Amino acid sequence: MDLARYHSGDEVTEGKVYRRIPNWKNYFDHGPGTPRRKTFEPRWPKDQGKVSMDLDRDEAERQLKKYPGFGLSELDIAEMKRQTGDKVRVVLTATGKSHVDVLGCDDDVEVQEILAGPP
């Protein structure tokens, strides 16, 4: 992903995003090995309705090393937008950096379940 073409506040509509997944019962389903919807539920009031993710896989994996036992979920942005009927938006938080906020997950359990994938 060419981060140089994006600026803080820009919406990113293509590529992949990566989300850390806690290795906890309510966040990860160990049976099928998939995230649960809680992984995509913002923590209130801390997250202010946003879910934090990374655009760059290498950066996401570097950050993951700080959280032993956590996993990484990969989502395709265009597919995510299509499946949610454009309810989610991926917005770059700082020019030249990998961090994005995913908006549209805050009050919509259906969106959270779509992002978590099939059970």
pTM of the model: 0.90
Q: 8-19: per-residue pLDDT in tens?
A: 999 999 999 999
* Confidence class for position 108, pLDDT limits 50, 70, 90: confident
Instruction: Name residue 75's amino acid.
Output: L
Q: Which residues, listed in sequence order, are joined to residue 103 by a DSSP beta bridge? A: 50, 89
Q: Is 14 exposed, middle or buried (0-12, 13-18, 19+ CB in 10 A)?
A: exposed
Q: Which residues of 18-50 are buried (b: 16+ CB within 10 A; e: fewer)?
A: bbbbbeeeebbeeeeebbbbbbbbbeeeeeeeb
Q: What is the count of structural domains for the chain?
A: 1
Structural domain of 80: 3-116
